[in-house]
Amino acid sequence: MTQLPLNPGFGVDELERTFTLSELLDLDLYREICASFASLTQVGLRVMDDTRLLLVDAKGRSAESCSALLADDSVQQRCVQEVSRILEKEPEGPWDQSCCRHDCFLGLRYLIAKLFHEGTPIGRVILGPYLPRGQCLGIDGDPDALEIGCRDVLGEKITCLDEADAQKALRHLVRMTEGLIFVGYKSALTSRMHLESVSASFADLKEKNRALRESYEQLKELDRLKSNFLATVSHELRTPLTSVIGYSEMLLEGMAGRLAEEQHAYVTTIMEKGEQLLGLISSILDFSKLERGCLKLSLQPTDIVEVTQSALSTVVPMASRQEIHMDVRVADDAPREIVADEGKVRQVLVNILGNAIKFNKKQGSILIRLQRFARPVCAPADEDVPAVFLTTEEECVCIEVEDTGIGIPAHELTRIFDSFYQVDGSSTREYGGTGLGLAIAKGITLAHGGFIEVESEVGKGSVFRVILPVTHGP
C-alpha cells in the first residue's frame, strides 16, 4: 500500500498533483518481483522514474556489470559510457512507439520500454544486457578485437536469448508493472482523498476550538463583570437600606411620637420587608466574595454545640410559625471545640435550617445531630510503609440536619448547590428564596477544609450533612 505523508496544508492542488512512480508502486514488493523476474530470465533489469531516479536494479545471471568482468581499461571505460547512454536513451522505435533496443559496442543488447499511467509517461524499464542468439561478441562488430579471455568470461556470464523471447519478456514486465501502477493509483488516490478529508476536518476542528476558546474567555470575562456588578450594586443598596430599617425601628420605638395602631402595623411591615431585603443583599455580597475568592475566615477555637444552638435560636420564630418541632442531639463522642470562623459556620447552619423549615410541612419536625466523623486521608510519605497503607484519619465533626419536608428528586441533588439554582425555578413557585443559600453554605464549608452532602427522598424528607475538620484550617 502506498504511504503518503500527512500534509497539514493539504488542499485542492495537492489532490490534483500527479503521482510519481515510487508513490504508485509498493517498492519493496515490486523489487522482489523484479528480482524474481531477473533470476527467471537470467537477464538484468532496471526501472527508473521519469526523473531518471533508479528505483530497481535487479541483476541477471551475472552479479557484476560487464565493465567489472573485463580486464582492459579502455574497454571498461567505453562500457561505463555506454551504460550512461542507455540510461538516458528515449525509446522511439523501431519495433514499437514506446520501446527501443540498444546494441552496445560489445554486441550485447538492451531493450528499453516506457511506462505509462493514464497516457502520461511515468518511468522506464531497461532489460539487458543479453546476447541476441546468432550474434557474436566482439568490439564494434570485430570478434577478434576482443581478447579471448574476455570473450569467454562474457560468454559464460551473459545470457543468450532469442530476440522474440526477450521482447515478449519485456512486454510481460511492462504489462505487469502497469497493472501494479493502476492498483497503486487506486489506493494512493483513496488515501489522498482520505487525507484530504481528515485535514479538512482537522482544520474545521481547529477553527471550532478557537471559537470555543474565544467564547470561554468572553464568558469568563462576563462572569467576572457580573460578580463585580453584584458586589457593587449590593454594597450600594445596603447603605440606604440600613437607614430605612434604622428609621423604621426609631418610629416603632416612638422616638418621633406615638404611632397609631394602623401606622404601627405599616411601619412593622416596612421594617420586616427591609430586613428580608437586607438578608438577600447580604447573601449576594457573600456569594460574590466567595466567587472572587475574597472570603476571609477569622479562624478561632469555636464551640460547635453553642454555634448550633445559636443558629437554631435564629430560626426558632420561623419554625414556630409553621409549628415545626426542632430537636438537637449531641453524641457522646462528638467533638465540641473546632477551629473555625464562628459567624460563617453559623451562617451555613442558618441557611440549612432555614431550608429545612421552608421546605417542611406544617407541624413537621427537624432533628439536628452532632457526631464524630473520621475522614480517611493520605498520610505523609514514609519510606518503610507501602503506599497502599499510607492512609490515616482526620478528626471531624458532622452536623446533620434531617427534615420531614418535600424532599429533593435524585437528579437534582448535585445541582441544588449551584448558584441561583432552585428545584422549582418557575415564577409561580411556592417557596421564596434566591437559590444562593446552599452555594454559600458549600463555599464556606469548603473554605474550612470540610464538605457538605445530602440524601433525600421525595415526599419523605432530606438529610443535609456538614462535615468540618476539628483542627484543619483551609
**Residues interacting with ligand ADP, by CB under 6 A?**
351, 355-356, 359, 403, 405-406, 408, 416, 421-423, 433-439, 462
Residue 365 parent element (H or E): strand 365-378
Contact yes or no for 267/259 (Cβ under 8 A): yes
Whose Cβ is closer to ligand ADP: residue 112's or residue 438's? 438
DSSP annotation string for 117-136: ETTEEEEEEEEEEEEETT--
Whose Cβ is closer to ligand ADP: residue 52's or residue 460's? 460
Least distance in angstroms from the C-beta of 412 to ligand ADP = 7
Residues across the chain:
474
Whose Cβ is closer to ligand ADP: residue 174's or residue 406's? 406
Least distance in angstroms from the C-beta of 324 to ligand ADP = 12
Least distance in angstroms from the C-beta of 282 to ligand ADP = 13
Angle (CA) 133-111-55 rounded to 5° is 135
Q: Please tell me the distance from the alpha carbon of residue 4 to that of residue 178, in angstroms, as a whole number.
A: 20
> Residue with CB nearest ligand ADP?
433
Nearest residue to 44 via CA among 173, 179, 147: 173
Which residues 6+ apart lie within 8 Å of 292 measured at CB?
Answer: 224, 227, 228, 231
DSSP annotation string for 370-393: EEEEEEEEEPPP-TTS-GGG-EEE
Whose Cβ is closer to ligand ADP: residue 109's or residue 358's? 358
Whose Cβ is closer to ligand ADP: residue 186's or residue 429's? 429
Whose Cβ is closer to ligand ADP: residue 82's or residue 403's? 403
Least distance in angstroms from the C-beta of 420 to ligand ADP = 8
Least distance in angstroms from the C-beta of 260 to ligand ADP = 36
Whose Cβ is closer to ligand ADP: residue 357's or residue 396's? 357
Whose Cβ is closer to ligand ADP: residue 407's or residue 450's? 407
Whose Cβ is closer to ligand ADP: residue 143's or residue 459's? 459
Least distance in angstroms from the C-beta of 404 to ligand ADP = 10
Sheet with 391-403: list strands edge to edge: 325-330, 365-378, 391-403, 461-469, 451-457
Q: Please tell me the distance from the alpha carbon of residue 456 to that of residue 409, in angstroms, as a whole number.
A: 7
Whose Cβ is closer to ligand ADP: residue 4's or residue 463's? 463
Least distance in angstroms from the C-beta of 285 to ligand ADP = 15
Q: Please tell me the distance from the alpha carbon of residue 280 to that of residue 445, in angstroms, as a whole number.
A: 20
Whose Cβ is closer to ligand ADP: residue 364's or residue 469's? 364
Task: Report DSSP state, residue 426.
Answer: S
Least distance in angstroms from the C-beta of 410 to ligand ADP = 13
Pairing status of strand 109-117 against strand 120-132: antiparallel
Least distance in angstroms from the C-beta of 439 to ligand ADP = 6
Sign of CA dihedral 273, 279, 283, 289: positive
Nearest residue to 2 via CA among 191, 164, 154, 169: 191
Whose Cβ is closer to ligand ADP: residue 123's or residue 354's? 354
Least distance in angstroms from the C-beta of 442 to ligand ADP = 9
403 backbone dihedrals φ, ψ, rounded to 5°: -120, 170
Contact yes or no for 304/346 (Cβ under 8 A): no
Least distance in angstroms from the C-beta of 382 to ligand ADP = 42
Least distance in angstroms from the C-beta of 226 to ligand ADP = 18
Q: Distance from CA of residue 435 to its chain's centroid?
A: 34
- Residue 439's CB: how many other CB atoms inside 10 A? 22
DSSP annotation string for 284-331: HHHHHHHHTT------EEEEHHHHHHHHHHHHHHHHHHTT-EEEEEE-
Q: Which amino acid is residue 246, in one-letter code?
A: G
Residue 377: beta bridge partners?
392
